[in-house]
Structure 1
Amino acid sequence: MTSVLVADDQILIRAGLAALLRAAPGIDVVGEAADGDEAATLAAHARPDIVLMDIRMPRLDGIEATRRILAQAGQSPPKVVMLTTFDLDEYVFAALSAGACGFLLKNSPPERLLAAIDTVAAGDMLFAPSVTRRLIEAYTQRSAPGCPSSAVPELDLLTSRELQVLRLVGTGLANADIAAQLVVSEATVKTHLNRAMAKLNVTSRAQAVVLAYETGLVTIRVNRTLDE
């Protein structure tokens, strides 16, 4: 059972999301919050697996609420998926910086929202397809050409397999897809990714993807979105 906290200041949207999730098998809605401050308080008590977080809310916005929730969660933080009606780059970057592992537009159909819950619960990151394209374009434009290890010397600390896994994570592949491509187990993929992240001092899969683009390790279009 995946526990979910829903945070949105618009009561009809919040109630609709909660009702949709309650009707889905394997999902337990453990709370509803009307603003970021309430979301942080409820998250501390309910300890949800996933938080669906609106970005624009009174008292405390979704990005600051995400920072507070993750800071107070200790060793078992929830996965935060940002919900917004605004497909704007600054929100994507701010959400990543705050530690969010996903970004989904509110006009996404119900089946995509449920797929997003499954994706994040499995440990993968996700972005709405339009957000994914803009995110990649921005980071590939910022990345300097040339050898990625010259931009971030820490990449030299990675083994060839760790670099390979990081590159595939950067292209948007899930662990199962990477395991199939490398002909190894998912556990092996997780081990290599965790070791790479520790060496690079990044704490989330989303940050690992950002680093892959910033360094030029990945320059191709993400090939896995929720549209596929």
Structure 2
Amino acid sequence: MSTKREVAPPFWKIPRKIKVFTITPSPGPHPKEMCYALGVLIRDVLKLTSNMRETKAVFKDGKILVDGVVRKDVKFPVGLMDVIEIPAINKIYRLVPQKNNPLYPLEISENEKRLKICYVKTKQTIKGNKIQLGLHDGRTLIYDSNIKVGDSLLIEVPSQKVLNHLKLDKGSLALVIKGKWCGYMGKIVDLIKGSFSSPPMVSLDIMGKIVTLRKDSIMVIGKEKPLITLN
């Protein structure tokens, strides 16, 4: 199945009138409106190939890795904080929110390619009284019961080893991942509980301005500074 270019997410930055259709991301952990089809990222955004035939050949040869795993499907969905590596040209990118672009491919160094911050979307008790965490990129972990929904984890990919626990708490540094303030960072100054009629909110100090946003529009990235490169 293909997507009409005219209805593709605006941050894809693809020509809208040259052709009618483009690659549709496969169903996956990232919302359709908040991901790239990997083939679109390689061909149209990074411009590493010039047509679909070249793109498919690169994928077939196993030259594209996402979070340290070879991906051969041009429709594979990539989104927030995913790390894309192209060893043949020594390029590594992390998809990060920046102003006017929720998924900007930021080039990063070799020593960061195994680092990824994920926020916790779900938490449940499973068989054996173990705690299972569901992260924003679809992966699941059996981990510490002290971690709460909304906290973030610095993990190593592809091993999924947890390197650090970042609490959603006052004083933590957060990154806005969508909306008007997308790409901005700020210290958390208040956490506002939700109700039946309103969602949980978070107040951030962004460059001296107090901004109140939905809790699901931010993620914790560190304490005094981000634990990974984001700009």
Pairwise same-fold verdict (TM > 0.5): no
Structure (1 or 2) with the greater helix fraction: 1
- More relative contact order in 1 or in 2 (CA 8 Å, sep 6+)? 1
Normalised by the size of structure 1, how large is the TM-score? 0.30
Structure (1 or 2) with the greater strand fraction: 2
**Larger radius of gyration, structure 1 or 2?**
2
Normalised by the size of structure 2, how large is the TM-score? 0.29
